[in-house]
Amino acid sequence: MSRHAFGRGIGWVVVVAVAAAVAMAPAARAGETARRGGRTLPVIEVWKAKRQLWLEKNGTVIRKFRISLGTDPREPKLRQGDGRTPVGNYYVSEKRAKSPFRHFLGISYPNVDDAERGFAAHLISADQWADILFANLQREPPPWRTPLGGRVGIHGFGGRPAAGIDWTQGCIAVSDPDIDYLFAVVPVGTPVHIHD
């Protein structure tokens, strides 16, 4: 049964109940310890107003990084091309060793909350909402080609401006040496909590 048939074939009440369960999953809540394969994962906390990224392990800050954000950093991301960095609870959904910005840690934007807002605002269809839900349930990269935008992540500067200048299209940029470090120590599945 396809995702689309699933979304249409059962009542929306069941789908909404599943979405609520995903939203309450321990790995999605701030302050929780996530585990994968029997080991404790680090946690990434992003503080947009402070322009800082913190890498934590077992509740202890291991290292802090200076960051640059999207060109419109104050508001949360709402749609493709708005230049905003999202706010919410995500996870590292993919790692790309080669990127125009050195390395790329893709995060799971849009998440279920983003999809709910987008669906309520008539930006995405019920099928797109369901695809985002199922990607989050399976801890995979969500669809990145919807009106909500996507391919948001943490990457290096790749020769672009230094920290203190917001220049990305919504991503979180750290220095090239910092993305080298993060890429080496952050596995797929790592919780990423982005705060205003």
The DSSP H or E segment spanning 172 is: strand 172-173
Domain ranges of the chain: 3-195
Report the number of secondary-structure helices (H) and strands (E) in the chain: 5, 10
* Assigned CATH topology for domain 3-195: L,D-transpeptidase catalytic domain-like (2.40.440)
Contact status, residue 173 vs residue 161, Cβ threshold 8 Å = no
Average pLDDT of the chain is 86
Confidence category of residue 162, pLDDT binned at 50, 70, 90: low
Res 165: pLDDT: 86
Instruction: Give the integer Cα–Cα distance in Å for 92 and 154.
Output: 9
Q: What is the mean pLDDT of residues 50-68?
A: 96
Res 115: pLDDT: 97
123 has pLDDT over 90: yes
Q: In 27-137, which ranges are E strands?
A: 35-36, 39-40, 43-47, 52-57, 60-66, 88-99, 102-107
Confidence category of residue 28, pLDDT binned at 50, 70, 90: very low
Neighbours of 23 (CB within 10 A): 15
Contact status, residue 87 vs residue 72, Cβ threshold 8 Å = no
Res 9: pLDDT: 41
26 has pLDDT over 50: no
